Structure 1
Amino acid sequence: QRAVSDDNWQVRREALEQIVTGWKNEEGILELLKQRAVSDDNWQVRREALEQIVTGWKNEEGILELLKQRAVSDDNEDVRLEALEQIATGWKNGPGILELFYRIAINDPFQREEDFQDNPRQTALEAIVKHYPDHLQTLPLLQDRAENDPDEKLRKWAKKKLQQLEN
């Protein structure tokens, strides 16, 4: 009940953790987490739900698709980042993953407001450089982002990475 309807997002997030800790094998828990990952009003609750899903149900049917959907369509960059990082960790060799990272590296709507923020486009680009360094699209994409990405911090990172690759 509290995981869904409490007015305080911290209570909802903590309730999710406790439910998974104590009642992971109960019927409906995965569905509850999926619902929270998609529809909770608070990004921290959605991110927590994704973390719990991958921790406990990584191999269940539909989990990768849920992560892909959140990586592309969540309105919060931290949730998109969490989904991206989970995909890069657990599914990097899956079909269509490089293409997903490529689309995100170019199209993610992130706009930097604070220096400490992490950019999903950069996270996707980092995953491409790390996991697909020899792919034909990797170097041109890195060059494009070094010149054309709207985020100055990402452009600097891409230029530095290009210099490292040339040496």
Structure 2
Amino acid sequence: METEGWPGNSEALRLLRDGAPNDPDGDVREAAVRAVAEGWPGDPGTLPLLRDRAANDSDEDMRKESVQAVAKGWPAGK
């Protein structure tokens, strides 16, 4: 998913954050999480979203994507 140009767009972030936990399609949730992680890594709500999806999503692939996004995006201890 291409996120260039979106980081300043709070409406895009809101839509993606809403889609990450709420869309019934696991692929959509996965794409939303990936876009948030890549486009807004410094946003204070990104890491909590990824942690929540890693622990609570019903889809195994979604949990894996969330864990990988945390591992790639944040040094240990943050």
1:37 has 2:20 as partner: yes
The C-alpha deviation readout for 1:39-89, integer Å capped at 9, x for no partner, is 001000000001111111001012111100000000000000000011111
> Residue in 1 aligned with 2:33?
50
Q: Which structure has greater helix proportion?
A: 1
Would you say how many aligned residue pairs link Structure 1 and Structure 2?
A: 77
The C-alpha deviation readout for 1:132-152, integer Å capped at 9, x for no partner, is xxxxxxxxxxxxxxxxxxxxx
Q: Gaps (5+ residues) in structure 2? A: none
Q: 1:26 and 1:72 mapped to 2: Cα distance?
A: 27
The AA in structure 2 aligned to 1:36 is: G
Whichever of the two has the greater Rg, that structure is: 1
> Residue in 1 aligned with 2:52?
69
Q: Gaps (5+ residues) in structure 1? A: 1-16, 96-167
Q: 2:10 and 2:66 mapped to 1: Cα distance?
A: 24
By relative contact order (CA 8 Å, sep 6+), the higher-ranking structure is 2
> Residue in 2 aligned with 1:79?
62
> Residue in 1 aligned with 2:9?
26
Q: 1:27 and 1:34 mapped to 2: Cα distance?
A: 10
